[in-house]
Amino acid sequence: EPEVTQTPSHQVTQMGQEVILRCVPISNHLYFYWYRQILGQKVEFLVSFYNNEISEKSEIFDDQFSVERPDGSNFTLKIRSTKLEDSAMYFCASSGIQGNNQPQHFGDGTRLSIL
Amino acid sequence: GNSVTQMEGPVTLSEEAFLTINCTYTATGYPSLFWYVQYPGEGLQLLLKATKADDKGSNKGFEATYRKETTSFHLEKGSVQMSDSAVYFCALKAQGGSEKLVFGKGTKLTVNP
């Protein structure tokens, strides 16, 4: 069964540095998402991406964050000038077509630790 | 805004015990409802879903029924196994254009022999 793959599985970064989290969505999917889960808290929506542009974003997704689909396969989340509170598990997801009947398929996540 | 409330964990059961994990939601209209499962060291996997009132989602012996009158989507399994040990997340997707999933906090289940 096709999978969403994320790299790296664990990223350790100094506060203030930039980090790029990478995702390869399922190949025929059209919608892409990033979520995060701070330890002990809920999984929170960050952003959705369709047709090479952001379709929806949460209030968490401020100017510090950006997303990109640099080629036909990768989907990246960039966090500029990281802060301690950015430490979390970041999940990428993808889905086929819009609508309530299409589930989102998740990757295994990247654990981001800011020191 | 939309929200999902799950019963607090952790839940510890013996093999073959009956499982219920409660989930209630707040949303306008008819959201779609999901249960995701996260096994240790892995990502979120869709377990089951229901997209309209009175629908029953089922998979791997788990079931959940979309109850509009009580705004609930409780997860049940008649006889759990050790391999069911995981964290279970209830989630909704609002009716209309938004594609984002709104998750509950998750309930950790441990099944002992």
Per-residue model confidence as pLDDT tens digits over B41-94:
888 999 999 999 999 999 999 999 999 999 999 999 999 999 999 999 999 999
High-pLDDT (> 70) share of chain B, % = 100
Q: Which residue has the higher pLDDT, A79 or A42?
A: A79
Q: Which residue of B has its CA nearest to A38?
A: B105
What's the whole-number mean pLDDT along residues A5-29? 95
Query: What's residue A28's pLDDT?
Result: 85
Give chain B's mean pLDDT. Answer: 94
DSSP, collapsed to helix, strand or coil, labels residue B61 as coil
The stretch A28-50 carries a mean pLDDT of 92
Nearest to A67 by CA among A52, A89, A84, A85: A52
CB contact under 8 A, B46 and A108: no
Average pLDDT over residues A55-80: 93
Contact B104 A31 (CB under 8 A): no
- Asked if B32 lies within 8 A of A43 by C-beta distance, the reply is no
pLDDT at A98: 61
Residue B18 has pLDDT above 70, yes or no: yes
- % of residues, chain A, pLDDT over 90: 77
Q: How does the average pLDDT of chain A come out, rounded?
A: 92
Whether A90 has a pLDDT exceeding 90, the answer reads: yes
What string of DSSP letters covers A40-98?
Answer: TS-EEEEEEEETTEEEEE-TT--TTEEEE--SSS-EEEEESS--GGG-EEEEEEEESSS
* Sheet of strand A19-24: strand arrangement: A5-7, A19-24, A75-79, A65-68
Q: CA-CA distances (angstroms) from residue B74 to A48, A64, B108, B111?
A: 28, 38, 15, 19
Token pair, residue B70, equals 């009580």
Separation in Å, CA of A42 to nearest CA in chain B? 4
Q: Residue A41: list chain B partners with CB under 8 A.
A: 105
Tell me how far CA of residue A49 lies from CA of A27, B25, B86, in angstroms: 15, 26, 29
A28-54 mean pLDDT: 92
What lies within 8 Å, CB to CB, of B45 at 6+ separation is: A106, B36, B37, B38, B39
The pLDDT of residue A99 is 55
Q: Which residue of A has its CA nearest to B33?
A: A100
Which of A42, A44, A54, A57 best probes binding to B when mutated, by most B CB atoms within 10 angstroms?
A42
